[in-house]
Amino acid sequence: MDMRLKGRVAVVTGASKGIGLAVTHALLAEGAKVVAASRTAGPELSALARPDLVHEGVDLMDPEAPARTVARAVQEFGGLDILVNNAGGRPPGVDLPRGSFFDASDDEWRAMFEFNLFSAVRAARAAIPHMLSRGGGSIVNVSSANARQPSQMNVDYGAAKAAMSNLTKALSEEFGPQGIRVNTVSPGPVLTPWWTEPGGAADRIAGLTGADRAAVLDKIVPESMGLTTGRLAGPEEIADVVVLLASPRSASTTGAEFTVDSGFVKAV
């Protein structure tokens, strides 16, 4: 299926690995031009190098970084059609998972909201005027199934992602009549470096349970989270939904949430 994205200009945050890398790869494959924002490019993003890909080295904890990234897209490619607010998860210097509400300080709560909510707010604020000047666009916010499935683990993260889902709906209502569609993709557990890198969530859970990393990823996490499919999703499975929402083929879809969570959320 042609996603009708050839020549469209996209900004993807958190693009050097995991879901963001998969989204960047998928958009490029559809002929889009991409500004990939992350602190460092990393080997996998660097391997995608081509004229239609620009890396913007930014720390999205910096309040000025989202606007600089959008400005880079306009400078390099003449405008902006798509914004994928993917950056999120563990802020720099914060360790996850946590087991209790009491495990996060005020500073850690602030850092979590800076990274997972305010970076998206600032990116949207910078992007929307450029989209309006081109007659519309698409914003896809990557939230989390934890926005809808509260848990004692990582309470601050779930709260920030719930706010992201609310932001999506509000933006869709205000700017939908002007041609800007805003939607949410809410992944469950995904096989990204957040889980798999040394010292990541799999290693931390292994330390708590006495199991090895493979058992954590293949058995303990799917069973403890009640994943209907019995496995964590792959980043490409999330990226496919993001690209569909970015595409004009989703022209009547706005203010919607798409949960891609291996069956984690059970509520209707």
C-alpha distances (whole Å) from 64 to each of 32, 39, 80, 174 are: 25, 14, 18, 24
Q: Which residue has the tokens 């889980």?
A: 195
Catalytic pick from 113, 115, 157, 258? Answer: 157
Q: For residue 141, what are the β-bridge partners?
A: 85, 184
Annotation says 126 is catalytic: no
**Which residues have a catalytic role annotated?**
157
